[in-house]
Amino acid sequence: MKNLLLIAALISMQFAISQTPCSGGTAGVYPCDGYDLQSRVTLGTMSAGSGNDSWGWTDPQDGKEYAIMALDNGTAFVDISDPVNPVYLGKLPTHTSSSTWRDVKTYNNHAFIVSEANGHGMQVFDLTRLRNVSNPPQTFNSDAHFNNFGDAHNIVINEDTGYAYVVGSDFYNGGPYFINIQDPVNPIDEGGYSIDGYSHDAQVVTYNGPDSDHTGKEILIGSNANEVVIVDITNKAAPVPISTISYGNVGYTHQGWFTENQRYFILGDETDELDFGFNTRTIVFDFDDLDNPTIHFEYSGPTSAIDHNGYVKGNKYYLSNYRAGLRVLDITDIASGTMVEEGYFDTYPNNNNANFSGAWSVYPYFGSGNIVISDINRGLFIVKSANLDTTDPIAVCQNITAQLDENGEVVVSGSEVDGGSSDNSGSYTITLSQNSFDCSDIGTNNITVTVTDPSGNTDTCSATITIEDNIAPVLDCLGNQSVTFDEGEAFYTLPDYVALGEVSGTDNCTTSLSITQNPPAGTQLAEGVYGISFATTDDEGNSVDCSFELTVSEILSVETILAQGLVLYPNPTQSELVIFSGNVNLESIFVTDISGKRLMDVNNINSERLNLDMSSLSKGIYFININNLITKRVIKN
């Protein structure tokens, strides 16, 4: 009789949408503890035969909240900004055929949807279109479709980097498929990772946990059927496996999620309850060292229901527990090996047996504290903690000054502008209306700082962030130089090294630097060593200079060089005349008298020295021509 009454009550509520508090252990027919039913959207309302995954989107323009529920025949969008009176806006039909498995995540105001339906690929839907649905429900179309793969089990998105990771597809042995979605409607295939085989689900984070060896890297934690794998996928062309870990009594390693400090990874095994007969089991790993992960402890739930998807928000773990519905675990003392169930909302009131029906997934990340549960058999539930903290935090701001880096950029964290905010829970998060600044932001910037507590209560304050550029330009100067000018010219004319591109400058913000040269171009320099200097100042008054030494020398003619080293002795001479050239070889000599008559010729000397015998010549004046360049007078006694 009890079961018959229960079935009758469920049938009567098939299309009901109502707010029902949790009282005496139930909210209507649904068992509960500490969580009220806000409303329900039935499968009939959404024209679907069954449900599966769910996610959510908060419109950054007006803060309205939307539930996204994956169905056997498409993806439903529900406006839950009034959670007691949700509005089913419509459905994006499946790209190919119906399927039990469909998964959805969001990035940059777009939903990305995959399915195990044959040939489905990835649908992309612009969520901002939900703002203007005037006559719901509506049948939507995709804004883009990525068809480089066919079917897939799941999709993971790292919103920090703008990458989607499709897992369980027909590529890369079912391992993660890398898709750049930074431009959501133009996805780009960037390869994949197949070494560790099939991934059923995964989480990808920009790592900021306790293992400093991997800080700032993009890390994938894969739930790979019989083990957990950890992979560095920062370089999509060359992923680096870090480690793997398994555990006892493996049924099917299904899905897991990091704690917010990225120290512990909470994992659900989907079939261990069926295979081994124990209650819901959750395995907690210690990832203090990503290269050497360890098992921290195991949590055993109060029912025999199968665990499915679980997510962490603050100090709570929200678990979709199939026939046991949503279970909420307090993980405040997870470091000491303790998790405590603080409440639940059971969307499958018939029983808590280990079967694949009931709550498929849960989305707990709405700022309002509303929680979405997608139930395979009963559609979409919106619940909220009956003991939800409604006290707003106190936001306190402080003004700061931040310096641009060498790239003309700076990112400001919430902690830098936190002037002593507080909340009765002892924890809160801080977001800034603008946290990334560049050269266009130099000066004062007024931003809004939002402080949010774990229950979604918020408070705001204003802060002034003064952006400065104190980085001097960089001059690419010349090394020391040597130059010459020809004999007969008086000076060397200094060129314009900047105009020639031989000296240039760059700056993180100023795009066109004015570089001065001293001495300026056109200056005439005699022989000597000079310092040539350059200086520039950017738009913010940051200056830099550089210099090099310029050695200027005259290029002498061959005649001058010969003359500088030429010696004839003795002069006067009685017989032998020594001709010596210290700089160049003697090549030819001829001797003439005062009338110009050539008296002697010596050729092909090729030596620095020649002893010329003049004993046969009469006394008088003679002229000695050397190398056809220089003529010297010699007296013969």
Closest among 178, 181, 279, 286 to 238, alpha carbons compared: 178
137-151, 185-199, 222-236, 422-436: which range is least confident on average?
422-436
Q: What is the pLDDT of residue 10?
A: 40
| Share of the chain residues as helix, strand and coil, in percent rounded to the nearest 5 | 5, 45, 45
Q: What is the pLDDT of residue 508?
A: 96
Per-residue pLDDT band for 388 (boundaries 50, 70, 90) equals confident
Dihedrals φ, ψ of 388, to 5°?
A: -65, 135
- Looking at CATH, the fold of the domain delimited by 561-636 is given as Immunoglobulin-like (2.60.40)
Q: What is the pLDDT of residue 386?
A: 87
Query: Residue 414: enclosing H or E segment and its boundaries?
Result: helix 414-417
Written as one letter, the residue type at 275 is D
Q: Which CATH number applies to 46-199: 3.30.465.10, 1.10.510.10, 2.40.50.180, 2.130.10.10?
A: 2.130.10.10
Do the Cβ atoms of 577 and 598 come closer than 8 Å?
A: no
Alpha-carbon span 258 to 230, nearest angstrom? 12
Region 523-537: mean pLDDT is: 95
pLDDT at 4 over 60: no
pLDDT at 8 over 50: no
Q: What is the pLDDT of residue 390?
A: 77
pLDDT at 497 over 70: yes
Region 143-169: mean pLDDT is: 97
pLDDT at 362 over 80: yes
| Per-residue pLDDT tens digits for 257-310 | 999 999 999 999 999 999 999 999 999 999 999 999 999 999 999 999 999 999
Q: Which residue has the higher pLDDT, 412 or 3?
A: 412
For 404, other C-beta atoms within 10 Å of its C-beta total 21
Per-residue pLDDT band for 456 (boundaries 50, 70, 90) equals confident
220-224, 502-506, 531-535, 623-627: which range is least confident on average?
623-627
Domain covering 400-468 in this structure, CATH number: 2.60.40
Q: What is the pLDDT of residue 351?
A: 96
Spell out the alpha helix ranges (H) of 30-95: none
For 44, other C-beta atoms within 10 Å of its C-beta total 11
| Per-residue pLDDT tens digits for 241-263 | 999 999 999 999 999 999 999 99
474-555: which CATH architecture? Sandwich (2.60)
Written as one letter, the residue type at 159 is E
Do the Cβ atoms of 188 and 163 come closer than 8 Å?
A: no
DSSP letters, 131-181, are GG--SSSEE---SEEE-SS---SEEEEETTTTEEEEESSSSGGG--EEEE-
Per-residue pLDDT band for 487 (boundaries 50, 70, 90) equals low
pLDDT at 17 over 90: no
Structure tokens at 175: 């391992």
Question: Same topology for domains 474-555 and 561-636, yes or no?
Answer: yes
Q: What is the pLDDT of residue 3?
A: 42
Cα four-point dihedral sign 320, 326, 329, 330: positive
Do the Cβ atoms of 258 and 290 come closer than 8 Å?
A: no
pLDDT at 220 over 70: yes
Alpha-carbon span 21 to 106, nearest angstrom? 31
pLDDT at 515 over 80: yes
pLDDT at 1 over 50: no
Q: What is the pLDDT of residue 12?
A: 34
Closest among 623, 523, 628, 636 to 572, alpha carbons compared: 636
Region 523-529: mean pLDDT is: 92
Q: What is the pLDDT of residue 506?
A: 96
Q: What is the pLDDT of residue 18?
A: 61
pLDDT at 16 over 80: no
Region 220-241: mean pLDDT is: 97
Do the Cβ atoms of 107 and 411 come closer than 8 Å?
A: no
| Per-residue pLDDT tens digits for 543-595 | 999 999 999 988 777 777 778 888 888 999 999 999 998 888 999 999 998 88
pLDDT at 454 over 90: no
| Per-residue pLDDT tens digits for 616-631 | 999 988 889 988 988 8
- In the chain, domain spans: 46-199, 400-468, 474-555, 561-636
Alpha-carbon span 268 to 78, nearest angstrom? 28
Contacts of 590 (CB under 8 A, 6+ apart): 598, 600, 601, 602, 624, 625
Closest among 555, 614, 605, 558 to 580, alpha carbons compared: 605
Per-residue pLDDT band for 9 (boundaries 50, 70, 90) equals very low
Do the Cβ atoms of 538 and 569 come closer than 8 Å?
A: no
Per-residue pLDDT band for 230 (boundaries 50, 70, 90) equals very high
Q: What is the pLDDT of residue 486?
A: 74
* Cβ burial, residue 277 (10 Å; 0-12/13-18/19+): exposed
